[in-house]
Chain A
Amino acid sequence: MPSLKEVKLKITGVKKTSQITKAMNMVAAAKLRGAQEKMEAFRPYTSKFNETMSNLSGGTTNDFPLMDVREVKKVELIVVTSDRGLCGSYNSNTIKLAERTMRAYEAKGIEVSLVCVGKKGNSILKKTGKVRKKYLDIMASFQMFNAREIAADVADQFLKGEIDQAEVIYGEFVSIVSQVATSKPFLPIKPVEVAEEEKKQISGDYINEPSTEEIMDVLQPLYLNVMVYHALLECGAGEQAARMTAMAVVYNKARQAAVTSELMDIVGGAEALNS
């Protein structure tokens, strides 16, 4: 049976754990607010952007290099994870989805290469030997130019014919308590479906400078930037939300483990007295 002193030590121990997890929880909450504000600020840009993209692609039938659909022999997966751990199963869910996707392609005889954004994904996935490029330590304060760099590099591979298709895999921020690993098609860019009556409205009286085709050439790379930036934002918010939940869970586990062992000792002691 533990002495009174030992019991007191245990209690302080558990309290210390509570302090640490509480602090991390609060930090994560503050960072989540920041990440959500960033997402909020980004929304008008994306909605306007998508509107114009669909307006324009409704008016054109031309094939663009970045929309080129060809037989798929090589696929690239952009895997976005956080740089830091202690956020529950947030990153491992994304990594598992990446691994599953990879196996599925390989079963069909399609080659897969990886682009890892974030340390966590890279540290696991580098064992596969398929990581073509990695971007580490950018998640803490990423900006549009980070997204541009990643998007331009993958688009370049696509245009060179090194890859035939690309996907972005990241943990989508659904809510504070729910983050879901998702995979979104990245390249080739899918034409947007436009309703017939809208089409007429659009192809109407716009003066385009330069031609619609040339505008699309400029817009499409920007569209890819938007997609990558979006994935980074989702990951940033998802990571913090997952950490908040994880911290509550960690503390409870530590507390319960302590309580259980304590109880076992007391029960054991009582048994010994009885016999």
Chain B
Amino acid sequence: MANQIRLEVVTPTGAIVNEDVDIVNAPGYGGDFGVLANHAPFLSTIKIGTLTYEKDKKRENLMISGGFCEVSNNQITFLVESAERGAQIDVERAMKAKERAERRLAQGKQSDENLNVVRAEAALQRAIARIKTAKM
């Protein structure tokens, strides 16, 4: 199809998506961005958040974390450390993870354990992104 772009989402545990789609929206470093077919070559880092793409008017959501994306030759490749389809997210588990991370943050700020705070913040962001993605 002429007006489609090939989307690839690659994680350390394998390729999650590999298909031609109409549009891709992703959480970039400087804010969300959308990519259509025949986009100019482009490279951006990716924040924790939701990647959405549309194909034949059907929308799919993916929670992605940590990585970057590259656009070239009408292909968009995401290299991320993890990617989960919205429908497969365990919301209850994410909720628990969110509470746990919040608790750790509250404790950590008192004892100024820097590393743990950073880790808890990342965990919290992931949990929030998961919940958001699942509810989309």
Contact = CB atoms under 8 A, between A and B. Distances in A.
Contact of B28 (A144, A204, A209): A209
Nearest to A147: B12
Interface in A203-254: 204-210, 214-215, 218-219, 222, 225-226, 229
Contacts of B115: 156
Contacts of A48: 10, 77, 79
Given A52-B70, A222-B66, A206 B41 contact: yes
A210 B29 contact: yes
A49 B67 CA distance: 10
Interface residues of B, number: 26
B87 interface: no
B13 interface: yes
Nearest to B81: A144
Contacts of B136: none
A275 to B, nearest CB: 72
Interface stretch (A36-44, A69-77, A121-129, A255-263): A36-44
A228 B66 CA distance: 17
A207 B81 CA distance: 23
Contact of A44 (B15, B44, B66, B72): B15
Contacts of A52: 43, 68, 70, 79
A64 interface: no
Contacts of A229: 12
- B33, B72, B81, B115, most chain A CB atoms within 10 A: B81
B40 A207 contact: yes
Nearest to A38: B13
Given A38-B13, A209-B29, A209-B30, A222 B41 contact: no
A49 B77 CA distance: 11
Given A52-B70, A209-B42, A215-B45, A144 B30 contact: no
A205 B41 contact: yes
B42 A206 contact: yes
Contact of A204 (B13, B41, B66): B41
B82 interface: yes
Interface residues on A, range: 20 to 34
Interface in A95-146: 144
Contacts of A219: 45, 68
Interface string A22-50: 00000000000000001001101100110
A214 B79 CA distance: 17
B12 A144 contact: yes
Nearest to B45: A218
A209 B12 contact: no
Nearest to A148: B81
Interface in B41-85: 41-45, 66-68, 70, 72, 77, 79, 81-82
A222 B79 CA distance: 10
Given A209-B30, A215-B68, A45 B79 contact: yes
A123 to B, nearest CB: 27
Given A42-B13, A45-B79, A210 B45 contact: yes
Nearest to B18: A44
A207 B33 CA distance: 13
A48 B10 CA distance: 9
Interface in A176-209: 204-209
Given A207-B42, A209-B43, A218-B45, 15 more contacts: A38-B13, A41-B12, A44-B10, A44-B14, A44-B15, A45-B12, A45-B79, A48-B77, A52-B68, A207-B41, A208-B42, A209-B42, A214-B29, A222-B66, A226-B12
